[in-house]
Every structure is written in structure tokens, then in C-alpha cells.
Structure 1
Amino acid sequence: MKKVLIFVTNHATLGETGEPNGTFAPELTHALKEILNAGFDYDLVSINGGKAPLYGTDIEGDEVNREILADDAFQNRINNTLPVSAVRVEDYDAIFYPGGFGLLSDLATNDAVARLSAQHYEGGGVLAAVCHGPAGLLPITLSNGEKLLASKAVTGFTREEEVDYGTLDKIPFLLEEALARTARRYSKVQPWQELVVEDDRVITGQNPASAHAVGAALVQRLA
């Protein structure tokens, strides 16, 4: 059985504000729906382990989100995430970073997670991320000393979407700028429209609307 390692944040606020945050639930649940429909297994992993903060858990009309969040197995895993120190990365076929603002404050700069993802990628594994999730790809350095993204085309949450969301002055850094400065190419479409960019074994999606398609692309890559 194929298995996906999903990195979630331990950071429970929007930047240094007191606003509740963490992982944006629909970006996790919509991708996870595709992973589960394919018959794959998954683990939820965070830097410190334990209960991982979620927001966006009460969005009206989002049946996929409601279904996954109501699942006992999911609740057990999100409330008891594995710590990075307990992970054997060779046990997984893909790594997925869902978005949410929280990871800008931990996964985006964590060397231990970046080393695991580099090891996974260089071993032939797939890396996928959506919305702010591609921030987790920024610190990944390959064994040749080059940044993973230096040779990759990617997308991620845009400046316009930050403006629409009212978060431009609250985030630790602007993801679009960081990706544009680090990646070989950064692409975007109109705010809130679906966009998935696949470059070899790196799959990225622009925003929440792209989570389902990122999950589908990950499944297709492992098929």
C-alpha cells in the first residue's frame, strides 16, 4: 500500500498576531480525500508532534471537509501527530504540505523537516504542496548544495490573494516573493482560480481551490 507523509504545522496563530490559525483544514481534507479514494494510507507529522491546530473547520457547504473532519481515524491522527524525530522517511511514497498561515512560522524554516524532504526527493519520492504549503519547500537543500526549488517551476499563494484575505501586514513573509526569488519559475493565475504546476516530482497548487487537484496529481504520479 502506498503511503503519504503529510507535514502539518504546530504554529497556532497567524504570524505573531493572536488570531487562531494553523493548517487550513480544506487544503488538507480535499487532498486527503483523493489520497484515501486511491486506497493509500497516510501519517500526519509535525515538528513537535501532538495535537496540530486547524482552522477553517466549519465552512458551510463543504461536504468533503465535513466528512474527513468527522472521521475518527483522522481526528486521532490530527490530535496525535507524529514528531519529526520519529519518522522514517523511507517508509513513504510521497510527502504533502497542506497550507494555512501557520507553517510560515515553523515548517518554512525548519532544517530537520527540510532534510527529510530532501532525502525523500533524492530517493525518488514525490513532493506536493498547496497554497502556503510550498513555503515548506523553501529550505530544502539537495546533497549537491543547491536549493531544490532552484531548478523547479512552482506556484503558491499570491500577493493578490493575501490582499483579498487581509493578511498582507500580518504574515511573517510574502510567499509569492520568496518563491519568485528562489524557484526557477513562479507562476500564478487570477486570484482564487485553480492552478497546479507539476515539474518532475514536485507538484504545487496556488490556493485552496487547487487542493483537490494537487491531491489528484499526487495520486496520478504514484499510480
Structure 2
Amino acid sequence: MAPPRRALIAVTSAHAPLYPKGQETGVFITEALHPFNVFRAANFEVDLVSETGTYQADWLSQQAEWLPEEDRKVWEDHSSEFRAKMDNLMKPSDVQWDRYGLFFASAGHASLIDYPDAKGLQKIAAKLYEDGGGIVSAVCHGGAIFPGILNAQGKSIISGKKVTGFTTKGEEEEGVLDTIKSWNRPTIEAAAKDSGATYIAPPGPWDAFAYTDGRIVTGANPASAEITAKDAVKAFDKL
């Protein structure tokens, strides 16, 4: 029997100063909104969850160059389906994993802070993947969750797989690599390697790029959120 046509989008609950004037990182809005739109258009029911049931929006993701007017209208409309679900986030204890066939880890640099220790989210994704035969997908920094999503052998579900995610070069270009190191967190490239995966770099740090390896679907950066979600739907439809 095919897994349920229902997607669960994880968002980071962390936030911390990151940008030059001390503005904070958090969930990168379009990295959750664009996949939400893709899944809804593909006739998925969609829910949103964070480890604590809370979130903060990333400062950069609210700036005009990263939040097009159409997206801004949805984001600022608290009665829109997306914003209403963001404002009433589920916690892992609210989630029955077997009601979902697709888990999608949205991102923002803040994901590097809480996803590695997000035991609730990790358990849901592991169950959905191992027991439910579903799709697990992540975009940009969302791959920070993978080292803790374990299979029956105690290895990451991306062990032996090929994945992409935000490049270390991109961190350097943004001037945030030292800050990430101060958080005592690995880059996405390092996390993939530590999990036994092969990291596949996009053509350039900001180019839209996604990679599918079986039931694992990953994307490289904010520009990749939509195509990653579309590829996740394609992988789901093959189940």
C-alpha cells in the first residue's frame, strides 16, 4: 500500500545573531513556503512542525530580494493557510508519523543549531522512512537533520547515499563560516561526510539544484526549494 499523500514540513525553532548588524537567523520563509505551495498543488495535505512548536523568521528571508511580493502577501496574511499553520505549529508529540508519506526539512542557518539535536523530528522522519516506506527530503541547511535520522542498524539514512545541500563555499561568501564554527556545528558538507554520504555540489553556491537518490531528495539552497519539493513529489509518485 502506498504511503499517505500527506506531507510534513519541519521548520527550525532556533534563532541566533548571524548577520552584520546582529540580525537573527531563523526559518528561511521561502524554504518552507515554496515547498508548501508545491505539495498543495500536488494534492497533498500539508502540516508544519518544529521541535518546540515555535519558530522565528530569518531576517534575510524577509528582505525584498529574498521574499517576492506574491510570497510576501501570503506571509503577511495571518489568515492564509501557510501563515495560519506557521502560527499554530505542531510539536513532535502532536504528530502521528504514519499519517504522512513525505517528510521535508525546510531550513535557514538556524537549522544548524537545533536540527542536530531535534530528537522528536528525527524520530518521525526515521519512522516514516524505515517503517512507512516514505520520502525524506531536505533543502539547504535542512540536511543538518540527517545525522540523527537513523536506520535499524543505527546508521544515518543517508549513509551510502548521494546528497546535496548548502555549500561551505556559500558560507564563506556570506561571511558566516566563523559564526557557524562558534556554534560548534558542522557545515552541511561536513555533516554529510560524517554520515557516510557522498556530497554532490551544485554548479554554483546559489544555483537551483536538487538531487534524488532513491527515497532521499535534497536541494542546495533557497533557490532550490521549489524544485526539491517537485522532485520529492516525483519520488513519492513512484512509490
Check whether TM > 0.5.
Answer: yes
TM-score, normalised relative to structure 2? 0.85
Provide the rounded CA distance (Å) in 2 between the counterparts of 1:47 and 1:70.
23
Q: What's the CA shift for 1:67?
A: 4.5
Q: What's the CA shift for 1:139?
A: 0.9
Say if 2:196 is the partner of 1:196: no
Provide the rounded CA distance (Å) in 1 between the counterparts of 2:166 and 2:70.
22
* 3-state DSSP of counterpart to 1:132: helix
Provide the rounded CA distance (Å) in 2 between the counterparts of 1:111 and 1:48.
11
Provide the rounded CA distance (Å) in 2 between the counterparts of 1:24 and 1:134.
14
- Counting only pairs closer than 5 Å after superposition, residues 86-105 of structure 1 correspond to structure 2 as 86-105=94-113
Provide the rounded CA distance (Å) in 2 between the counterparts of 1:200 and 1:67.
36
AA aligned opposite 1:184: A
Q: Hey, what does 1:209 align to over in structure 2?
A: 223
- Counting only pairs closer than 5 Å after superposition, residues 112-131 of structure 1 correspond to structure 2 as 112-122=120-130, 123-131=132-140
Q: Deviations over 1:120-150 (max 9, x none)?
A: 1012010010000011112111112222121
CA distance 1:80–1:132, shift in 2 (3 Å):
same
In the TM superposition, structure 1's runs of 4+ consecutive aligned residues that sit over 6 Å from their partners are none
Say if 2:105 is the partner of 1:76: no
Count of equivalent residues: 221
- Counting only pairs closer than 5 Å after superposition, residues 1-223 of structure 1 correspond to structure 2 as 2-14=5-17, 19-50=23-54, 52-55=55-58, 56-60=61-65, 62-71=68-77, 72=79, 73-122=81-130, 123-171=132-180, 172=183, 173=185, 174-189=187-202, 190-223=204-237
Kindly indicate whether the alpha-carbon contact (under 8 Å) linking 1:26 and 1:57 is maintained by their aligned counterparts in 2.
Answer: no
Q: What's the CA shift for 1:85?
A: 1.1
CA distance 1:14–1:214, shift in 2 (3 Å):
farther
Q: Deviations over 1:151-170 (max 9, x none)?
A: 21101111110011121011
Provide the rounded CA distance (Å) in 1 between the counterparts of 2:70 and 2:104.
18
Structure 2 gaps of 5+ residues are: none
Q: Deviations over 1:14-60 (max 9, x none)?
A: 47x9632211111111222211211222111111114x211212324
AA aligned opposite 2:91: P
My pick for the range that moved more, 204-213 or 176-185, is: 176-185
AA aligned opposite 2:189: E
Structure 1 gaps of 5+ residues are: none
* 3-state DSSP of counterpart to 1:217: helix
Q: What's the CA shift for 1:203?
A: 0.2
Q: What's the CA shift for 1:202?
A: 0.4
Q: What's the CA shift for 1:70?
A: 4.1
